[in-house]
Structure 1
Amino acid sequence: MTDPMTIAIATAAAGKAVELAGEPAREAMAALVRRFKERFRGRPEDEQALERAAEDPGSPERLEVLEGVIRRSLEEDPAFRDQVEDLWGRARNDVRAGGNSNLNNVNAHGDLGKSVQIRDVRGGVHL
C-alpha cells in the first residue's frame, strides 16, 4: 500500500522535479532525502533501488521499487519512522503556511493542558 509521504520521498529522492511552495519546504524535503540516503548507506539493495530510480526518475516501476524500500525501512524502525514523520510534517506545514496565512500545530502526547491560539489582535486581550 502506498501513501503520499513515501511517494513524495521516493519521487524527490529519484531527482524528479517536485514543485514545492517556498525554500523551507524544499529544505525539509532535501532533509528527508538525506536521511534516507544515510539510512541506505551500506545496504546494497537499498542503495541500488535509489540509484536506479535516479537514473530514470520517469520510470513508474523504478519509483515503485524505491517507494517499497522506503516503506520497508520505516516499518523496520519505529524511531526512524517518527523522525521521518516529523520532517514530513514540517515539509507539509511549510507548504500550507505560505503567503499571508497562519498555521499552528499542537502535538500533545498525553495531557495538553491549556492552549490559546490567536492572530491579528487589535486592542487588548484578557484571559
Structure 2
Amino acid sequence: MTDPMTIAIATAAAGKAVELTGEPLRNAAVALARLVRDRFRGRPEDEQALERAADAHDSPSRLEALEAALRRVMDEDPSFRERVETLWSQTQTNATAQDDAVVNIFNGNAQKVVQLRDHHGDLHL
C-alpha cells in the first residue's frame, strides 16, 4: 500500500527535484532527507534502495522500493518513525501560499473536513 507521506519522503531522500516554496519548507524537506540517509547508513539493502532511486528518480519501481525500505525501517524503529513524522508535520506546516495560491493543511483524524477558499453564496452541510 502506497502511503503519501513515505513516498514523498522517499522522493525527497532520493534527491528528486521537488518544487518547494519558501526556505522553511525547503529546510524541513532537506532535514527529512538527511534523517533518512543517516538512518539507512550501514544497512546495505536500504542504502542500495536509496542509491538506485537517486540514480533513476523518475523510476516508479525504484521509488516504490525506497518507500518500502523507509516503511520497514519506520516499523522497526518507533523513535525513528516519530522523528520522521515530526519533520513531515513541520514540512506540511511550513507550506505557505504566495500570490494567489492556496495551501490547505490538515493533520490528524476526523470524520469530515471542509476546506474552502473564495466561496460565494450559500453553503449547506
Flag whether TM exceeds 0.5 (same fold).
yes
| CA distance in 2 between partners of 1:30 and 1:9 (Å) | 10
CA apart distance, 1:45: 0.4
For the pair 1:64 / 2:64, whether they are aligned, the reply is: yes
| CA distance in 2 between partners of 1:70 and 1:16 (Å) | 16
TM-score by length of 1: 0.74
| CA distance in 1 between partners of 2:79 and 2:29 (Å) | 19
Within-5 A mapping of 1:12-91: 12-91=12-91
| CA distance in 1 between partners of 2:37 and 2:15 (Å) | 13
Secondary structure at the residue paired with 1:15? Answer: coil
2:115 maps to none
Cα RMSD (Å) of the superposition?
2.1
CA apart distance, 1:98: 4.0
Q: What letter matches 2:15 in structure 1? A: G
Give the unaligned 5+ runs of structure 1.
Answer: 102-106, 108-127
Give the unaligned 5+ runs of structure 2.
Answer: 103-107, 109-125
Secondary structure at the residue paired with 2:94? Answer: helix
| CA distance in 1 between partners of 2:16 and 2:42 (Å) | 24
CA apart distance, 1:9: 0.8
Secondary structure at the residue paired with 2:61? Answer: helix
Moved over 2 A (4+): 97-101
Computing the radius of gyration from Cα coordinates, the structure with the larger value is 1
The count of aligned residue pairs is 103
